[in-house]
Amino acid sequence: MISASYNHSIDLWIEALTEYSFIQLCISPSPEQWSLGQLYIHLINDTQFYLDQMQVCVSNNENINEVPSEAAKKMFLANEFPDIQIEGAPGNATIPQPNNKEVLLNNLLRLKIALQSIEKTILLSLNKGKTRHPGLGYFTAAEWLQFADMHFRHHLLQKKRIDDFIFNNFLP
């Protein structure tokens, strides 16, 4: 079930957050790369977008005959993103540093609860609408939920690269 996987994925990020000082969250390996804090903000913002899409999907039957792209179908079947670094949307370059750890933690906890709630709604909804992902075709609410989980897991490799930089170059 998606909820067990999603809960595990978001819990990894919540637990990891406690390991960092605020300064460590704001350290970037290079000017072209995100800090961990920026990565957390990206995950929170994107997951909120996915949640918004799920809400739309369960509220109507629009785009019911539309389909995900072939790349998306492969991702859903494998239940993971391809093992490559993916170039994000141009807006990702302007993600700010976090204001503090508590805001990140509270936003993750809020999203976890909201996604648990929407999963119940998805299971009970008679509506099966779809909304368009900017690059991967149309997703149902259940696919958006699976995508959110895959997205959290995909960024674990990026987190590891940033962790390696922080803990090899700075004192905790």
Return all residues near 142 (Cβ < 8 A) that are at least 6 apart: 2, 122
pLDDT in tens, 113-150: 999 999 999 999 999 999 999 999 999 999 999 999 99
Q: How far is CA 58 from CA 7, 129, 142, 166, in A?
A: 21, 6, 9, 42
Residue 92 has pLDDT above 90, yes or no: no
- Cα–Cα distance for residue pair 105/98, rounded to 1 Å: 11
The per-residue DSSP string of 15-80 comes to HHHTTS-HHHHT--SSTTS--HHHHHHHHHHHHHHHHHHHHHHTT--TTTT--B-HHHHHHHHHTS
Joined together, the tokens standing for residue 17 give 């957050």
- Cα–Cα distance for residue pair 19/14, rounded to 1 Å: 10
Joined together, the tokens standing for residue 95 give 């993600």
Give residue 172's pLDDT: 54
pLDDT in tens, 47-90: 999 999 999 999 999 999 999 999 999 999 999 998 876 665 55
Percent of the chain with pLDDT over 90: 83
Residue 3 — pLDDT band, cuts 50, 70, 90? confident
Percent of the chain with pLDDT over 70: 92
Give residue 2's pLDDT: 62
Dihedral-angle region of residue 63 (phi above 0 means left; psi in -120 to 50 means alpha; beta otherwise): left
Mean pLDDT of 4-15: 92
Mean pLDDT of 4-20: 93
- Tokens 């595990």 correspond to what residue? 8
- Cα–Cα distance for residue pair 172/168, rounded to 1 Å: 10
- Residue 92 is given by DSSP the state G
Q: How many CB atoms lie within 10 A of CB 97?
A: 14
| pTM assigned to the model | 0.92
Q: Answer with the residue of higher pLDDT: 83 or 172.
A: 83
Return all residues near 12 (Cβ < 8 A) that are at least 6 apart: 152, 156
Residue 160 has pLDDT above 90, yes or no: yes
